[in-house]
Chain A
Amino acid sequence: MKHSLFINGQDEIDVQIIAEDGTTLNLDLLPDEVVAFESLDRTLKAHPVFQSTYPNAKLIRIDSNRGIQEEEAGRYYLRYQYDAGITEFWGHHASSTYVDCDQGLVGVAK
């Protein structure tokens, strides 16, 4: 579903909330999920390799996979449109913040 959700100033983000049983929920993100997506997006945008690899990246789609633990890579899915195409990242809470542009992983410390 299309939400006029603002994540770090980006709107018109396609938001998918995936329940534990795999069905898609017609709900809003929980406040903690919004905070997590904002943090993941901010971390990526601040990373020099991300900036150079994905110039002018704009967040266009997010999935909140509620069946996956917060600490597991894949809890959050982020899709970006950038100058040369589209890319995907998997986000999660980690013991320390990191970005791995090769694997498409981003972790943020809670």
Chain B
Amino acid sequence: MAIAGLPFVTPFCFADSPIVPDAQKTPGDVLMTDAKVICVSGYTKKVRDVPQAVKEQAYRIYGITARKPGEYEVDHLISLELGGSNSIRNLWPESFITQPLNAHVKDKLENKLHDLICSGQLPVQQAQQEITHDWIAAYKKYVGPLASDAQTPVTEKSSIVDERPLELSNQFGSLPDQPDEAGNCPSSSPIKVSKNGIYHVLGDPNYEHTKAKSCFPTPEAAKAAGFRAPKR
């Protein structure tokens, strides 16, 4: 599936990964429009987790009846840090592994928009509208061109990447490893990336209690994937 003229690779031949949500099924849903609230440190930790039954329903809605660990996350179209709600109207299963667009790429946009809101450079409602309308366009507007824009386009199922085993992915510096259910990273890939897009190394005071969304073998690999170190 190519979206808006952007071809992308489905690395393991899983076609139709929903990189953009269906507006009929996931129109987006706002909980909060007050920047003073969402910009308070720790705001997203106060917002609820989505029950597993709701996540499973999001998969069913998109016709995903089987999946591998680490293949998708049930993501918020308007992220919690941008004032999105946990209603199923704001949720859809987003691929972790498609290239160049995936959940990690969208995380970068969310972090950028949050920074702009909290520095007074962007109204909350505008950020919510733009990410709802077309998150890929918003990415290009606020973050920059996608990596693929400067590359020779690749077509679905035509790349060598299609045949790449998962365990080799980090040699290419593009695909992270996945944490276990408790958010811990494997020893081969110990760098934890939080849901806010911040990576934590062993010895970092926040390392132990950080629930990883993804894992990298080195800080350099995490940085190359677009994540940042904690601000000191």
Contact = CB atoms under 8 A, between A and B. Distances in A.
A86 B25 contact: no
Nearest to B86: A88
Contact of A79 (B24, B60, B61, B85): B85
A89 B88 CA distance: 13
Contacts of B58: 22
Contacts of A20: 60
A32 interface: no
Given A22-B61, A67-B57, A88 B51 contact: no
Looking at chain B's contact residues, is the secondary structure mostly helix, strand, loop, or mixed?
loop
Contact of B88 (A65, A69, A85, A104): A65
A68 B48 contact: no
B37 interface: yes
Nearest to A18: B88
Nearest to A87: B48
B7 to A, nearest CB: 27
A71 to B, nearest CB: 9
Interface string A8-39: 00000000101011111000000000000000
Contacts of B53: 68-69, 72-75
A72 to B, nearest CB: 4
B48 A86 contact: no
Given A67-B57, A68-B54, A68-B57, A86 B87 contact: no
Contacts, number: 73
B49 A65 contact: no
A77 B88 contact: yes
B61 A86 contact: no
B133 interface: no
Interface in B27-72: 27, 31-32, 37, 47-54, 57-58, 60-62
A81 B61 CA distance: 29
A59 to B, nearest CB: 14
B89 to A, nearest CB: 6
A105 B51 contact: yes
A88 B54 contact: no
Given A21-B61, A73-B53, A16 B32 contact: no
Contact of A73 (B51, B60, B85): B51
A88 B31 CA distance: 9
5 contacts: A20-B60, A22-B25, A22-B26, A74-B57, A75-B53
Closest 9 CB pairs of A and B: A22-B61, A22-B25, A72-B53, A74-B54, A104-B48, A74-B51, A73-B51, A74-B53, A67-B57
